[in-house]
């Protein structure tokens, strides 16, 4: 589950970027975009371990060297679902709630001002 949380950190960093009308799009920040791409690539390498790096496991602790590909694919599907839910939640649901809250506050201020 640690890999899911590592992916979650990257996705949340991407999703929580406040865009228009307050700031420029995230991809205009080359350092942020580069680090995000780098971290996602490292995460993919850690998930699929295509080079069979022994540093990713230690047999002395009983962790299996051969993690089945089905498990890695299952983990990746969990990560994708988690990412989609996070993006939908932040971009649509939170934005809708924020707009309704602002409308409520404005109506309340108008009612108190009269």
Note the Cα 97 to chain centre separation in Å. Answer: 21
Q: Cβ contacts of residue 28 below 8 Å, gap of 6+?
A: none
pLDDT per position as a tens digit, 8-44: 888 887 777 766 655 677 778 788 889 888 988 888 8
**Is pLDDT at 62 greater than 50 in this prediction?**
no
Predicted pLDDT of residue 87: 85
| Domain map (residue ranges) of the chain | 2-86
| pTM for this model (two decimals) | 0.64
pLDDT per position as a tens digit, 70-96: 888 898 898 899 889 988 888 788 888
Dihedral sign for Cα atoms in the order 47, 69, 5, 64? negative
């Amino acid at each position: 589950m640690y890999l899911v949380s590592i992916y979650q950190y990257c996705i949340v960093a991407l999703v929580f970027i406040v865009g228009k009308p307050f700031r420029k799009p995230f991809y205009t920040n080359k350092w942020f975009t580069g680090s995000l791409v780098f971290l996602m690539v490292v995460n993919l390498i850690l998930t699929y371990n295509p080079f069979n790096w022994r540093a990713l496991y230690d047999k002395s602790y009983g962790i299996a060297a051969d993690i089945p590909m089905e498990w890695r694919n299952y983990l990746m599907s969990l990560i994708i679902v988690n990412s989609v839910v996070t993006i939908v939640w932040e971009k649509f649901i939170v934005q809708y709630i924020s707009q309704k809250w602002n409308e409520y506050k404005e109506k309340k201020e108008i009612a108190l001002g009269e």
